Amino acid sequence: MTALGKLFLFAVLGFLYLPVAVLVAMAFNASPLYALPFEFTTHWFEELAGNDKLLAATRNSVLIAILTTVLATVIGALAAIALSRRRFRGRTLLRLLLLPPIAIPWLIIGTAMLVFFFWTGIGRGLHAMVLGHVALAIPYVVLVVGAGLNNTRIDLEEAAMSLGSTPLHAFFAVTLPLLMPSLIAAALFAFAVSLDQFVISYFLATPGVSTLPVEIYTSIRKGFTPEVNAVSSLLLAASMILIIIFARLTKVGGVSGRR
């Protein structure tokens, strides 16, 4: 690679990671006002351990994200299988209708959900947030799993059937293992969509039950504390670990080296 190309690559990575690096560094800086020189401390993490509101919000966020991941992946994957393998009336229309929710601004979806949930009596709170997040994540799952299904081959299932598999067994023995990378990617998408989600969570949160993004936003408005940096750093570490596991499992990014 040319020197210029390398420079460009580092510039892009710098642009992506510098703000995050500053945040992590400040989580370990003694001054609450970001004053330099840097003075290492784990004080803010200790403070965090005592901040019940922030911890509760983190627990909520993780819980909602896990529930969303499981529900959205299962529902979305089943929908993707139906859309790619079955022939039925309105299939094309249904497939098309899955895309707009990705493009509609979250503010609008959030408002709509708030109104709808109020009107139907579902209300607000943890369950409402899970519902909202699942609805948001499903189109992503359908897209990712659908793309994966396009790469699986019908003839493999036919071969399994010729060897004595029922269609269900053929699916589980042949198609599902080959679909695994797509399913993991879809699950990760769902997890990220949920963990990231601010607008909808903000609308559906109740005073006692909020998520981490909502809680961070609230505490910034009240006056910034570096505990937010600390909790963000922890979350960052968790996401990084997840991504690395994903890359290992799916061989994205050439981690395993061989194609």
Binding site for other proteins (CB under 8 A): 153, 155-156, 158-166, 169, 173-174, 177-178
Euclidean distance between CA atoms 134 and 191, whole angstroms: 10
Tell me how far, at minimum, the Cβ of 219 lies from other proteins, in Å: 48
Tell me how far, at minimum, the Cβ of 259 lies from other proteins, in Å: 10
Tell me how far, at minimum, the Cβ of 88 lies from other proteins, in Å: 17
With contact defined as beta carbons under 8 Å apart, do 229 and 23 qualify? yes
With contact defined as beta carbons under 8 Å apart, do 226 and 145 qualify? no
The total of other beta-carbon atoms located within 10 Å of residue 73's CB is 25
- By C-beta, is 179 or 216 nearer to other proteins? 179
Q: Buried b / exposed e across 204-221, counting CB within 10 Å, b at 16+?
A: bbeeebbbbbbbbbebee
Tell me how far, at minimum, the Cβ of 184 lies from other proteins, in Å: 15
- By C-beta, is 91 or 169 nearer to other proteins? 169
- By C-beta, is 123 or 177 nearer to other proteins? 177
Chain mean position to CA 101:
16
Q: How many CA atoms lie within 13 A of 29 on its CB side?
A: 18
- By C-beta, is 50 or 164 nearer to other proteins? 164
Tell me how far, at minimum, the Cβ of 80 lies from other proteins, in Å: 20
Closest of 70, 189, 94 to residue 141, by C-alpha: 189
- By C-beta, is 164 or 208 nearer to other proteins? 164
Largest CA distance in the chain: 72
- By C-beta, is 18 or 180 nearer to other proteins? 180
| Pair of tokens at residue 72 | 């959205």
Euclidean distance between CA atoms 255 and 22, whole angstroms: 27
Tell me how far, at minimum, the Cβ of 185 lies from other proteins, in Å: 17
Task: Verify cis geometry, omega within 30 degrees of 0, for the bond prior to 37.
Answer: yes
